[in-house]
């Protein structure tokens, strides 16, 4: 495990929890089989300060025609994921996390990055946030897109390495390697306990 800049405490931070939704649970149409394994760690992080948690939700279109360009091809293939076909509650947060909102904030997004066509940036600016502690699903899709955009926007990015899940072990491992090898000045990989220690020190 690489702990970059671990001497820095956490201040002006939020926990940004990406897309921990029923659709990605083991029972969902896009299952992330080991979501259940990381869920207790994410719950512990949320419990530390629910009011400083932001949950994002990936919101699918009503039909494939409601999205531009290659998204139409994607949602034609995944027609079962459009809102017209999904079972009730599929886009909701998984129940162990839904109980925290409120006081946690929920922000919906139509794309992979949490910043894309969402209220996230304005919310962070209003709260004077400069640090994002990121957990959630999936490591190599929505988490990846969010992490890289957060880097581009200049945020301090802390990735909770035991608070991520993916449907692809290969993709997850590749991203952990990439973060360690190429982004050591911009992305910190920390275990949950290290994150909690930093957050307690900031209180």
**Single pTM value for the model:** 0.94
CA 195 to each of CA 7, 73, 90, 167, 201: distance values in angstroms, whole numbers, following the listed order: 11, 40, 30, 24, 10
Q: Is pLDDT of 3 > 60?
A: no
Could you give the dihedral angle defined by the CA atoms of residues 93, 86, 62 and 94, in that order, rounded to the nearest 10 degrees? 0
Q: Which residues contact 116 (CB under 8 A, 6 or more apart)?
A: 109, 110, 145, 149
CA 23/CA 87 separation, integer angstroms: 9
Bridge partners of residue 133, in order along the sequence? 15, 158
What's the token pair of residue 147?
């992490």
Across the range 117-138, mean pLDDT stands at 96
CA dihedral 173, 177, 180, 186 (to 10 degrees): -80
- Select the more confidently predicted residue: 1 or 175: 175
Q: Calculate what percentage of the chain has a pLDDT beyond 90.
A: 80
What HEC string does 165-185 produce? ECCCHHHHHHHHHHHHHHCCC
- pLDDT for the residue numbered 1: 39
pLDDT tens for 55-114 read 999 999 999 999 999 999 999 999 999 999 999 999 999 999 999 999 999 999 999 999
In angstroms, the CA 7 to CA 63 distance is: 48
4 pLDDT above the threshold of 50: no
All domains of the chain, ordered by start, with CATH?
A: 13-202 (3.40.50.850)
In this predicted structure, the answer to whether residue 203 has a pLDDT above a threshold of 70 is no
What pLDDT, on the 0 to 100 scale, is given for residue 45? 96
DSSP conformation letters of the chain: ---TTTTSPP-SEEEEEE--BGGGSTTSSS--TTHHHHHHHHHHHHHH-GGGEEEEEE---SSGGGS-THHHHHHHHTGGGSTTTSPTTTTSBPHHHHTTTTTSEEEEESSSSTTTTSSHHHHHHHTT--EEEEEEE-TTTHHHHHHHHHHHTT-EEEEEEEEEE-S-HHHHHHHHHHHHHH-TTTEEEE-HHHHHHHHHHH-
């Amino acid at each position: 495990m690489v702990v970059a800049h671990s001497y820095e405490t956490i201040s002006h931070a939020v926990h940004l929890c990406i897309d921990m939704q029923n659709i990605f649970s083991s029972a969902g149409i896009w299952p992330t089989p080991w979501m259940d394994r990381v869920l207790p760690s994410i719950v512990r992080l949320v419990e530390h300060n629910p009011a400083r948690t932001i949950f994002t939700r990936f919101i699918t279109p009503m039909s494939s025609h409601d999205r531009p360009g290659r998204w139409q091809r994607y949602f034609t293939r995944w027609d079962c994921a459009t809102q017209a076909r999904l079972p009730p509650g599929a886009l909701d947060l998984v129940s162990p996390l839904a109980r925290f909102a409120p006081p946690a904030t929920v922000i919906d997004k139509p794309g992979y990055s949490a910043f894309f066509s969402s209220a996230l940036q304005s919310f962070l600016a209003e709260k004077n946030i400069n640090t994002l502690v990121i957990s959630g699903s999936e490591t190599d899709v929505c988490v990846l897109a969010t992490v890289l955009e957060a880097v581009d926007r200049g945020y301090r990015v802390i990735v909770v390495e035991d608070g991520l899940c993916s449907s692809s072990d290969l993709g997850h491992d590749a991203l952990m390697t990439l973060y360690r090898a190429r982004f050591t000045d911009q992305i910190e990989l920390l275990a949950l306990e290290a994150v909690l220690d930093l957050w307690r020190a900031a209180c």
